[in-house]
């Protein structure tokens, strides 16, 4: 009985791995980001004549590897979002730039046919934020802040074959990132109007263009 169970398990594993695929994907795109804490900080302190709107755009790069089984895919996605703001302050230029590193564990349901794949899914993961600020009125050198947090992401994407294994990729993301206040040693990123510090917590929507390579195992 035990032998039969082991044999059955091995056969299932073998049949899964025969049908399995690994997809490797590289994309780039643009995020539409709303971070109220950051927007208030910049609008009150620096963007006096050129107020920022609710959403701003940020560059986004991503690499992902997904393992396919049955009608599902599980994957590791490593994304990076970068943005910068510049304002003339009379004494010089104020600059704030940030970069998010966003690894995600993703789970998808997919529909696959002749020459196409259509997926939708969600993921979750930690967030690593680094912020660089140069304020000509306070300090002349750059200050770097860091913080961490977590985020969730929902994704819908479509890929169409350009050759047997290579697909052109279009995708859309929606997500939420919860982050602490960035700090540099004991110094927090803060302003008189935000004594508790500037939070980078926010919501985003983004579109991606990329390439996907599919390997059948």
Partner 1 sequence: MSILEAILLGLVQGISEFLPISSTAHLTLTGRMLNVIDAGKPEEWTAFIAVIQLGTLLSILVYFYKDLVNILTAFFTEVIGKRTKFSLLSENSKLGWLIISGSIPIAVIGLGLKKIIEGTLTKNLWVIGTSLIVLAVILAIAEKTAKFKKEMKDITIKDAILIGAAQSMALIPGSSRSGTTITGGLFCGLKRETAARFSFLLSIPAVFASGLLELKESIKFMNHDLMTAMIIATVVSGISGYIAIDFLLKFLKKNTTFAFIIYRIVIGIVILSLLYTNIIQK
Give yes or no for residue 122 binding partner 1 (CB under 8 A): no
Give yes or no for residue 65 binding partner 1 (CB under 8 A): no
Six token digits for residue 36: 């109220």
> What count of other Cβ atoms lies within 10 Å of the Cβ of residue 182?
26
For partner 1, which residue of 103, 136, 149, 172 counts as binding (CB under 8 A)?
A: 172
Closest separation between CB of residue 181 and partner 1, Å?
26
Closest separation between CB of residue 55 and partner 1, Å?
5
Q: What does the alpha-carbon distance between residue 107 and residue 188 come to, in Å, rounded to a whole number?
A: 36
Specify the residue, 57 or 216, whose C-beta has the smaller distance to partner 1: 57
For partner 1, which residue of 101, 134, 207, 213 counts as binding (CB under 8 A)?
A: 207
For partner 1, which residue of 44, 55, 89, 136 counts as binding (CB under 8 A)?
A: 55
Which of positions 66-105 make contact with partner 1 (CB under 8 A)? none
Tell whether the torsion through CA atoms of 139, 178, 105 and 172 is positive or negative. Answer: negative
Contact 207, 30 (CB under 8 A): yes
Burial of 164 (0-12, 13-18, 19+ CB in 10 A): exposed
- Quickly list H helices, the chain: 2-19, 36-45
# residues contacting partner 1 (CB under 8 A): 26
Beta strands 166-179 and 183-184 are unpaired
Q: What does the alpha-carbon distance between residue 161 and residue 82 come to, in Å, rounded to a whole number?
A: 30
Give yes or no for residue 27 binding partner 1 (CB under 8 A): no
Specify the residue, 105 or 209, whose C-beta has the smaller distance to partner 1: 209
Give yes or no for residue 193 binding partner 1 (CB under 8 A): no
For partner 1, the binding residues (CB under 8 A) are 29-30, 32, 53-59, 111, 113-116, 118, 158-161, 168-170, 172, 207, 209
């Amino acid at each position: 009985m035990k032998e039969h169970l082991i044999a059955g398990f091995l056969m299932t594993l073998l049949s899964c791995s025969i049908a399995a695929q690994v997809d490797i994907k590289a994309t780039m795109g643009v995020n539409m980001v709303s971070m109220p804490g950051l927007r208030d900080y910049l609008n009150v302190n620096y963007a006096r004549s050129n107020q920022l709107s609710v959403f701003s755009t940020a560059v986004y790069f991503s690499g992902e590897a997904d393992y396919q089984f049955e009608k599902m895919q599980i994957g590791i996605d490593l994304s990076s979002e970068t943005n910068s703001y510049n304002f003339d302050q009379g004494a010089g230029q104020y600059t704030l730039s940030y970069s998010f590193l966003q690894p995600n564990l993703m789970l998808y349901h997919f529909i696959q046919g002749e020459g196409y794949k259509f997926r939708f899914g969600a993921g979750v993961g930690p967030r690593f934020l680094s912020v660089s600020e140069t304020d000509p009125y306070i300090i002349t050198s750059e200050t770097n802040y860091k913080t961490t947090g977590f985020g969730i992401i929902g994704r819908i994407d479509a890929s169409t074959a350009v050759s047997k294994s290579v697909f052109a990729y279009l995708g859309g993301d929606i997500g939420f990132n919860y982050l602490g206040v960035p700090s540099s040693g004991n110094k927090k990123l803060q302003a008189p109007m935000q004594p508790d510090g500037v939070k980078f917590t926010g919501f985003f929507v983004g579109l991606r263009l990329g390439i996907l390579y599919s390997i059948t195992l």
